Structure 1
Amino acid sequence: MATKQIKLMDIALARSGDKGNGSNVGVIARSPEIYAYLDKELTAARVAAHFSEIALGGVTRYELPNLNAFNFILEESLGGGGTETLITDAQGKVHGLAILHMVIDIEESLITTIKKT
């Protein structure tokens, strides 16, 4: 099946924040069809590779199919947490935007689904 490269931001939304020394990144698919596709493509390993320079303790993925969403915990990504770190984004707020810049291959048949959302 033919694929096209796009940024995750073209098919999903994201929110992020802190969980102690880890950040919490939620990704919401724009349709159930896109959620089903991302369920296979947006793995914890893929997100860990994308955040390899900051998620020093690994990545855990949680599925929320009733919301067409995923929740990723990026362990040890905040340099000790909001009150203990000198990093600029001590609460991981930019991590949601960072995941949306991930480039993925998507089946061209889903392109029409994207345009409808």
Structure 2
Amino acid sequence: MELAAEKFKRDNVTVAAARVLPRGRLALVGLGPGSAEERTPRAEAEIRRAAFVVGTPEAIDAVGPLLRSGTEVRYEGACDLASRGAAVALVAFGAGPTLDDPVEADVIVVPGVRDRCV
């Protein structure tokens, strides 16, 4: 929270207005080794939901058709963006991305490819 206006004090009364800062969201989306047809609906939804999509150029190219108009593409800075209140999808091939640094945001781990085990 942060103070939205200066406190007002008078007699036995203090009035203050605060606003709740938005909490960021960081979705760690694994693109797996499979094809786009095997991607999970939840992985695709997290990518579409994000205001920022972060990943390697190859990973960004793989999810390009899912990006909404206005979605910003970045190649680094996912944790910082989410900590500042943004909705971010961090995409990577293989099992998925991992975090090396703490982040002040809601972190969601999303497997990106359906399980092929029978």
One fold, TM greater than 0.5? Answer: no
Q: TM-score, normalised by structure 2?
A: 0.25
TM-score by length of 1: 0.25
Larger Rg: 2
